[in-house]
A = this chain, B = another copy of it.
Amino acid sequence: MLPVDAVLRKVDSSFEESVGRLCELLRIPSVSTDPAYAGDVRRAAQWCADRLAAMGFTVTIHETPGHPILVAHNPGPAGVETPHVLYYGHYDVQPADPVELWNSPPFEPAIVEAERGRRVVARGAADDKGQTMTFMEAFEAWHAVHGSIPIRATVLLEGEEETGSPSLPRFLKEHAEELRADFCLVTDTNAWDVDTPAITTRLRGLLYLEATVTGPSHDLHSGLFGGAVPNPINVLTGILGQIHDADGRVRFDGFYDGVRELPDDLLAQIRGLPLDEAQFLGALGLTRSHGEAGRTLLERIWTRPTCDINGIWGGYTGEGSKTVIPAKASCKLSCRLVPGQDPAAIEASVERFFEERLPADCTVSFRRFSSSPGIEVPTDTPWMQAVRGGLKDATERDGVLIGGGGSIPIVGWFREHLGLDTILVGFGLDDDRIHSPNEKFELKCLRNGIRSHAAILGRLAAGQVG
């Protein structure tokens, strides 16, 4: 019997205690956006520190300009060279508002029986306390059975994820030596379904700009001047209306430079995923997928770059009518980027696209709010093999490789500041209602997560990697 088998049995036999510990953490209202809860955010950090210390970690709670960052080190078994993993999670949560829409108090975790078995309902149940506890409880089980965890591990937990992690990039830079590991393991994403684990291997980047077109020096009466002066709303919409071609492709010069087609096996895997498109789209009030021609829904979201206008404003927007030609009009515009695209080159191309289409007497100015590249996690590394093997050991299913349409900034920061690849393995579900009332985490997901992390530790320790 391998050492991991006893651990997996322990995970199962002690599962109610694991649920109990998660509920303890969920009772701390660690809302990071609201200064009134700053003490609770710190209390949550301390709770995690106490657990880790009890398992032999050396824990430091670092002060930041915002909420504390916890770093814990475990050297692993003495005298043995093992892989070194950096685990990431966060102990802060979104506000619970609107509280009146909750069926039970958001910080009094309720165990509820539902169609997939029991679930825990509380703010943070999934995002990210429940997910963070999957690896914390895997440590518990290893520690309980073998007296120690089987590899060298560093744990990084922050309390500002829900406010955009303002302190983290600088912290990573300043603590790069201390945090360096073989790879990062982040547990803040979703499984494919309640039984099937998933690894997110692609994330889209984000270029987010604001553009303002200016024409006449002041607002003009559209009767007295209309037809003879440039109208900045006409100009702006005229430019924005040219961004997409008839096939839904983006027309910024060089936009697709560097964009690679997926390898056949990955494409086949994505196309083989059992997605109920009608249900997915029906929940959005839609009957079909829109976008770039010749791509499936999941390809469009996971693998293709986009341009969306996220906001637009200009002229008179109140009730009734006003016959005005405004002096300016603005929009917020973002591109989701895939690996291979250069955010800076695309930003320059967007600006040229506007400038080349401006009529005389009009100007355009830009502000940039985000610029991050798309990310592709290598799938052929020994670490990925270990993680996939562990998922199979724990769930008896192959984990599927999925993409994510959004950005997860920490993945870019770990690459930039620590030089590390990140493997995103998570156990949430699409219907967990994170950030919404009645957030929940399926206990089945919690158990799968703990078992998976326990098995991944087993794989990494068994030297099947590295």
Q: Which residues of A contact B (CB under 8 A)?
A: 204, 206, 208, 210, 215-218, 220-231, 233-234, 236-244, 281, 284-292, 297, 300-301, 304-317, 320-326, 329-332, 334, 336, 359-361, 369-370, 404-407
Are the CB atoms of A233 and B310 closer together than 8 Å? Answer: yes
Which B residues are CB-close (under 8 A) to A329? 312
Which B residues are CB-close (under 8 A) to A369? 320-321
With known contacts A244-B238, A312-B329, A361–B286 Cβ distance under 8 A: yes
What is the minimal beta-carbon distance from A457 to any residue of chain B, in angstroms?
31
Of chain B, the residue at the smallest CB distance from A333 is B233
Q: Which of B227, B233, B326 contacts A304 (CB 8 A)?
A: B227
Which B residues are CB-close (under 8 A) to A285? 215-218, 361
Of chain B, the residue at the smallest CB distance from A227 is B306
Q: How far is the CA of A369 from the CA of B222 in the complex (A)?
A: 15
Supply 11 A–B pairs (Cβ within 8 Å), ascending by A: A210-B321, A218-B284, A222-B336, A223-B405, A224-B405, A227-B301, A233-B309, A310-B325, A311-B322, A312-B314, A312-B315
Q: How far is the CA of A295 from the CA of B369 in the complex (A)?
A: 42
Are the CB atoms of B223 and A206 closer together than 8 Å? Answer: yes
Q: Which of B204, B224, B239, B286 contacts A216 (CB 8 A)?
A: B286
Interface centre among A208, A231, A290 (most CB of B within 10 A): A290
With known contacts A208-B323, A234-B309, A316-B311, A287–B360 Cβ distance under 8 A: yes
Are the CB atoms of B407 and A228 closer together than 8 Å? Answer: no
Q: How far is the CA of A226 from the CA of B204 in the complex (A)?
A: 10
Which B residues are CB-close (under 8 A) to A281? 229
Q: Which of B243, B322, B405 contacts A310 (CB 8 A)?
A: B322
Q: Which of B221, B241, B359 contacts A242 (CB 8 A)?
A: B241
Which B residues are CB-close (under 8 A) to A330? 317
Known: A227-B308, A228-B301, A236-B312. 5 other contacts (CB 8 A): A210-B321, A224-B406, A228-B300, A237-B240, A323-B334
Are the CB atoms of A290 and B241 closer together than 8 Å? Answer: no
Q: How far is the CA of A237 from the CA of B307 in the complex (A)?
A: 13
Q: How far is the CA of A157 from the CA of B215 in the complex (A)?
A: 39
Of chain B, the residue at the smallest CB distance from A324 is B310
Q: How far is the CA of A228 from the CA of B299 in the complex (A)?
A: 9
Q: How far is the CA of A222 from the CA of B336 in the complex (A)?
A: 8
Of chain B, the residue at the smallest CB distance from A210 is B321
Of chain B, the residue at the smallest CB distance from A238 is B241
Q: Which of B225, B310, B360 contacts A301 (CB 8 A)?
A: B225
Q: How far is the CA of A208 from the CA of B316 in the complex (A)?
A: 12
Q: How far is the CA of A281 from the CA of B331 in the complex (A)?
A: 27
Which B residues are CB-close (under 8 A) to A228? 289-291, 297, 300-301
Are the CB atoms of B314 and A311 closer together than 8 Å? Answer: yes
With known contacts A238-B244, A287-B360, A315–B310 Cβ distance under 8 A: yes
Q: Which of B223, B290, B322 contacts A229 (CB 8 A)?
A: B290
Of chain B, the residue at the smallest CB distance from A406 is B223
Q: How far is the CA of A369 from the CA of B318 in the complex (A)?
A: 13
